[in-house]
Chain A
Amino acid sequence: MRARNSFVGAAFALLAAGMGHSALADDIKIGEINSYSLLPSFTEPYRKGWQLAVEEINAAGGINGKKLVVISKDDGGKPADAQTAANELVSSEGVAMLTGTFLSNIGLAVSDFANQKKVFFLAAEPLTDAVTWAKGNKYTFRLRPSNYMQAAMLVEAASKLPAKRWATIAPNYEYGQSAVAVFKKLMSEKRPDIQWVDEQWPPQGKIDAGPVVQAVAQANPEAILNVTFGPDLVKLVREGNTRGLFKGREVVSFLTGEPEYLDPLKEETPEGWIVTGYPWYSIKTPEHDAFLKAYQAKYNDYPRLGSIVGYQTIKAAAAIIAKAGSTDTDKMIAAAEGISMPSPFGEITFRKIDHQSTLGAFVGKTAQKDGKGVMVDTSYKKGSDYLPSDAEVEKLRPKD
């Protein structure tokens, strides 16, 4: 009988350990959701980033003396599963706030969940403008520069190009569609003389690059806007290089300078594309040096943009809770509106008006160095300089 009891006890202990309830009642728990199984090339560095942040915060005494625990869930790239995970984190794990997400539709699904259940949600990565504007709500904040901001940064450089005939290549889903739409709008405002001569919309992840490249070349544009990324970008660049699509043409490209997407290209890296990205090797600021050093010491690897996003998401969450002095949702919202904090890219602020952070991005040109893709001539663009006026934002955002 005794043997059996101890067996049962061991089983329960195993079960408890398996459930990951290492958190004590007094700890501050933050829920984190991302597409770990669908997008490992982004989410693995992202995970490393937030784990580093948790370690740093707890080494410095936690948040107002309490230990920070992050409970992380995979959404498999499906909005419905993200909501199941959000529900588990809120109802079952009792987290103080939700953070994370990558894909725009998942960001929106969790944001809607947060709005319904009155939970604080700090969106890390989803780029769609809808998160803070058209479908924005009181409970949702976002860290990364939105589609609009990145488009505005690129337009600043693109509008100086002499090119008048433009073609676009973008993945056929919301991100691609809205990136092209904003870019076209801002670009045409600055340069009414521009003509849009062709647009290609390959399905996300399924580009048949040869025909697409050929079709764009046939329209004979002087410049090309690219929004594809990941494996699609690789195929596009390879076909484009072989077929000479990029020869003598300017290319402006979203996200291509991020190590996640630039590094795989190696000796295929095209020269001179104007891109947004993260040149970790050439940022020389004390804040970034500190981050880089800590990251490399812990992982023996260089950071990707995902690392920054993961790191700063948790740092921001901790700063918000520390300022609120509580995990009460309304108090956290009040604390988050207008909060300023340091980041590896310098000081950022979460705006009161639309809950968007002013984290910026680097704009530069692609180049090859020792068979690797790098960004050169980079400059940091502050997010606050690339947002529309307050009056416009108020029109875009529903009243709480």
Chain B
Amino acid sequence: MAFYVVQFLTGLASAASLFLVASGLSIIFGVTRIVNFAHGAFYMIGAYIAFTLTERFSGAFGFWGGVVAAALAVALIGVLVEIVLLRRIYHAPELFQLLGTFGLTLMVEDLVVLIWGPDDLVGRRAPGFKGAVDFFGQNIPSYDLFLIALGPVVLGVLWLLFQRTRWGVLVRAATQDRDMVAALGVNQKWLFTSVFAVGVFLAALGGALQIPRDAVHHAMDLRIIVEVFVVVVIGGLGSIVGAFVAAVLVSELNAFGILIFPKISIILVFLVMAVVLIVRPWGLFGKPEAAARKTPGLSVNPWRPLTLNERLASLAALIIAAMLPLFAGNYALTVGSEIAIFVIFAVSLHFLMSVGGLASFGHAAYFGLGAYGVAFLAKMAGLPMIVCLLLGPLLGCMGAAVFGFFAVQLSGVYFAMLTLAFAQIVWSIAFQWVSVTGGDNGILGVWPEKWAASPSHFYWLALGVAALVTIALRVMVFSPFGYALRATRDSLLRSEAVGINAKRIQWTAFVIAGTTAGIGGALFAYLKGSVFPDNLGISLSVDALVMVLLGGVETVSGGVIGAIVYKALNIWLVSQTDLSKLVLGGFIVLIVVVFPKGIVGMLEILAQRRRKSSPPGSSLLAKPVESAE
């Protein structure tokens, strides 16, 4: 019995660490709607700075002072980031801030190694909490007891802050309806800055308090960021109590789960999230999101099919791309094939995100399923390549059909997180089912047949498929189905009022996007000759999001440009510099500031300005489309 009590307390200690970080993320999202990907980075910097301070100043005062000072210092950095970077992009399309904070995260990962060196750092134990307390023959670390007490204390302080201060009232009001708060004359700028500072402070405090338990190293951020997102979503976005309950739930399930299934940890949080979201679409303590008042951004620059000239220009670009084998070497061609495949992947997500308004955080699942589909068919059934390429993506299609059905019942970030949960579940199956998938050692030897083996032939194949896919999706955007899908995106209520079956339309779009991603994955398997669980992993899903956002989410085909720019730059930088993450992150942050609508989005605005200054005749052409919007 004593064992179960101790195991429960141990779970509570883990929960407290998780809650500190999650509460900060929840507050930031609730008010600013920023999906703060850099939250883990702030957590990590907090730990690094606290390490330096506590090593330097010894004694109780040095330790606790160092921890608090580190958190304050990082909060200051947070304020700086908010003022310099985020303030510029609050009005950018939804999720665009994710791109900026992703860039920051990349930079921080390289910077901490530059500043603190590559070795894992192990800090001091907390003065006064070094030992353990005996509980009927079981040992409980006294630091765990400290954390267990700290969790509710922080929860209480936050509660007081939100319920009993004017600032808290404003924050709660902004969480509920920030347009109204702005209309009532509250200075949103400083409200947002202060909220961001508080959130970052909590993240850094969470990181600093890990020093006595953990090693400080440069991958701490990724270890925690996904998990705290999951906790926040399980609890319900913006709900602090929810985050607390979710942290306890997840930690306790893990603490007791490993007694029965020692391998459960790898997937537990995602399983819990999937179940919670299917049963309660807004998390345990969340409320339905108020229908966002759409900024008029989308209708100002209506979509239209390409003009004849633009079509000719695109065709010319395609022909030039097809001539690459005439003057490029094998390496350039293989990179070209990889970029073409990522164009397919990016346009598939772009279709879902920009046309359907459904941002998926787990799109790599369908890419990877397509790749595994090919690997199974080629290695186990021994089918010829062309058959594998045609049938492989069906695995992606089936995955999308099953998961999409559940996912489209939700919307916004909840939709995104449910897709992430499904992707992680698929990933863990590929990772754990060693006898079928080969586990993390993957499936090797999926090489193309002779006719496609040479780099130039494979390049033409990939380029051709990419062009076909892009054209097909564009045709779909301007088909009745595309218009119906855009209607569900712009106004769910009105679209249902005119008789559109929104869920079915969205589900169809999800399956189309998943199958398309599967086509990309199928080609990718042959390009690399092997398939690994990585092909379904979070980092690939994030890559796809970055490509779409970089290209411009409010455009019809921005994903194409986003994929080319991001992938080419990524491959080139990794090859040329050891600090590829720092440079790439810096580049992304720069793009975010300079092109807040993405690269293509910005080009379209420029083109439109030019069109406006030209005689009115040309703009009349766009009129019928506009009225159809």
Residues of A bordering B, CB below 8 Å: 18-20, 36-38, 40-41, 43-44, 73-74, 76, 78-81, 83-85, 87-88, 91-92, 104-105, 108-109, 112-113, 115-116, 128, 130, 135, 172-174, 177, 198-203, 205-206, 208-212, 214-215, 217-218, 230-231, 234-235, 238-239, 242-244, 260, 263-266, 268
Instruction: Please indicate the chain B residues that have their CB under 8 angstroms from the CB of A83 in the complex.
Output: 528-530
State whether B532 touches A79 (Cβ < 8 A): yes
- B439 interface residue, CB < 8 Å from A? yes
- B178 interface residue, CB < 8 Å from A? no
State whether A215 touches B119 (Cβ < 8 A): no
Checking A37, A80, A172, A234 against B215 with a beta-carbon cut-off of 8 angstroms, the contacting residue is A234
Checking A81, A206, A238, A268 against B265 with a beta-carbon cut-off of 8 angstroms, the contacting residue is A206
Q: List 14 A-B contacts (CB under 8 A).
A: A37-B578, A38-B219, A80-B532, A83-B530, A88-B331, A88-B335, A135-B444, A198-B262, A201-B266, A206-B266, A211-B254, A239-B213, A242-B143, A243-B132
Instruction: Please indicate the chain A residues that have their CB under 8 angstroms from the CB of B431 in the complex.
Output: 173
State whether B258 touches A263 (Cβ < 8 A): no
State whether A85 touches B574 (Cβ < 8 A): yes
- Closest Cβ of chain A to B540, distance in Å, is 9
The chain B residue sitting closest to A47, CB to CB, is B578
- B403 interface residue, CB < 8 Å from A? no
Instruction: Please indicate the chain A residues that have their CB under 8 angstroms from the CB of B266 in the complex.
Output: 172, 201, 203, 206
Instruction: Please indicate the chain A residues that have their CB under 8 angstroms from the CB of B575 in the complex.
Output: 73, 85, 88
Apart from A92-B331, A231-B120, what are 12 other A-B pairs with CB-CB below 8 Å? A40-B118, A73-B574, A74-B578, A87-B334, A92-B332, A177-B434, A200-B262, A210-B141, A215-B7, A231-B215, A235-B214, A238-B212
Checking A18, A76, A92, A105 against B442 with a beta-carbon cut-off of 8 angstroms, the contacting residue is A105
Checking A130, A208, A210 against B441 with a beta-carbon cut-off of 8 angstroms, the contacting residue is A130
State whether A242 touches B532 (Cβ < 8 A): no
5 interchain residue pairs of minimum CB distance? A40-B118, A92-B331, A234-B215, A211-B255, A91-B330
Checking B10, B218, B442 against A214 with a beta-carbon cut-off of 8 angstroms, the contacting residue is B10
The answer for the CA separation of A378 and B68 in the assembled complex, in Å, is 43
- Closest Cβ of chain B to A85, distance in Å, is 7
As a 0/1 sequence over residues 417 to 453 of chain B, the CB contacts with chain A under 8 angstroms (1 = contact) are 0000000000000011010000111101101000000
State whether A79 touches B534 (Cβ < 8 A): yes
Interface class of chain A by DSSP: helix
Instruction: Please indicate the chain B residues that have their CB under 8 angstroms from the CB of A44 in the complex.
Output: 118
Q: Count residues on chain B whose CB falls below 8 Å from chain A CBs.
A: 76
- B490 interface residue, CB < 8 Å from A? no
- Closest Cβ of chain A to B438, distance in Å, is 9
Q: A173-B439, A211-B254 given as contacts; is B331 within 8 A of A91 (CB)? A: yes
State whether B335 touches A84 (Cβ < 8 A): yes
Residues 246 to 293 of chain B near chain A (Cβ within 8 Å): 251, 254-255, 258-259, 262-263, 265-266
- Closest Cβ of chain A to B114, distance in Å, is 10
Checking B122, B217, B263, B265 against A208 with a beta-carbon cut-off of 8 angstroms, the contacting residue is B265
State whether A109 touches B528 (Cβ < 8 A): yes
State whether B532 touches A87 (Cβ < 8 A): no
Instruction: Please indicate the chain B residues that have their CB under 8 angstroms from the CB of A113 in the complex.
Output: 529
The chain B residue sitting closest to A209, CB to CB, is B213
The answer for the CA separation of A225 and B574 in the assembled complex, in Å, is 38
- Closest Cβ of chain B to A233, distance in Å, is 8
- B154 interface residue, CB < 8 Å from A? no
State whether B215 touches A177 (Cβ < 8 A): no
Most buried by B among A177, A211, A235: A211
Q: A19-B576, A81-B574 given as contacts; is B444 within 8 A of A108 (CB)? A: yes
The chain B residue sitting closest to A230, CB to CB, is B120
Checking A19, A43, A210, A218 against B144 with a beta-carbon cut-off of 8 angstroms, the contacting residue is A210
Q: A109-B530, A173-B431, A173-B439 given as contacts; is B580 within 8 A of A211 (CB)? A: no
Q: A38-B219, A88-B331, A173-B440 given as contacts; is B213 within 8 A of A238 (CB)? A: yes
State whether B534 touches A78 (Cβ < 8 A): yes
The answer for the CA separation of A38 and B138 in the assembled complex, in Å, is 38
State whether B265 touches A203 (Cβ < 8 A): yes
State whether A264 touches B141 (Cβ < 8 A): no
- Closest Cβ of chain A to B394, distance in Å, is 22
Most buried by A among B132, B217, B223, B251: B217
State whether B265 touches A112 (Cβ < 8 A): no
Instruction: Please indicate the chain B residues that have their CB under 8 angstroms from the CB of A78 in the complex.
Output: 534, 539
The answer for the CA separation of A130 and B140 in the assembled complex, in Å, is 42
The answer for the CA separation of A135 and B262 in the assembled complex, in Å, is 28
Instruction: Please indicate the chain B residues that have their CB under 8 angstroms from the CB of A38 in the complex.
Output: 219
The answer for the CA separation of A5 and B336 in the assembled complex, in Å, is 31
State whether A268 touches B122 (Cβ < 8 A): yes
- Closest Cβ of chain A to B237, distance in Å, is 24
- Closest Cβ of chain B to A338, distance in Å, is 27
- Closest Cβ of chain B to A167, distance in Å, is 10
Instruction: Please indicate the chain A residues that have their CB under 8 angstroms from the CB of B388 in the complex.
Output: none
Instruction: Please indicate the chain B residues that have their CB under 8 angstroms from the CB of A43 in the complex.
Output: 118
Instruction: Please indicate the chain B residues that have their CB under 8 angstroms from the CB of A85 in the complex.
Output: 574-575
The chain B residue sitting closest to A81, CB to CB, is B574
- Closest Cβ of chain A to B478, distance in Å, is 34
State whether B132 touches A84 (Cβ < 8 A): no
- Closest Cβ of chain A to B533, distance in Å, is 9
- B557 interface residue, CB < 8 Å from A? no
Instruction: Please indicate the chain A residues that have their CB under 8 angstroms from the CB of B529 in the complex.
Output: 83, 112-113, 116
Most buried by B among A79, A85, A198: A79
The chain B residue sitting closest to A80, CB to CB, is B528
Q: A203-B265, A242-B141, A264-B122 given as contacts; is B442 within 8 A of A210 (CB)? A: no
The chain A residue sitting closest to B14, CB to CB, is A208
The answer for the CA separation of A214 and B262 in the assembled complex, in Å, is 13
- Closest Cβ of chain B to A38, distance in Å, is 7
State whether A243 touches B141 (Cβ < 8 A): yes
Q: A112-B530, A208-B254 given as contacts; is B263 within 8 A of A172 (CB)? A: yes
Checking A36, A84, A174 against B338 with a beta-carbon cut-off of 8 angstroms, the contacting residue is A84
The chain B residue sitting closest to A234, CB to CB, is B215
- B58 interface residue, CB < 8 Å from A? no
State whether B254 touches A109 (Cβ < 8 A): no
The answer for the CA separation of A263 and B25 in the assembled complex, in Å, is 34
Q: A112-B444, A172-B266, A218-B3 given as contacts; is B122 within 8 A of A242 (CB)? A: no
The answer for the CA separation of A31 and B524 in the assembled complex, in Å, is 24
- B464 interface residue, CB < 8 Å from A? no
The answer for the CA separation of A209 and B212 in the assembled complex, in Å, is 13
The answer for the CA separation of A198 and B255 in the assembled complex, in Å, is 15
The chain A residue sitting closest to B227, CB to CB, is A206
State whether B574 touches A76 (Cβ < 8 A): yes
Instruction: Please indicate the chain B residues that have their CB under 8 angstroms from the CB of A260 in the complex.
Output: 119
The answer for the CA separation of A244 and B580 in the assembled complex, in Å, is 43
State whether B331 touches A208 (Cβ < 8 A): no
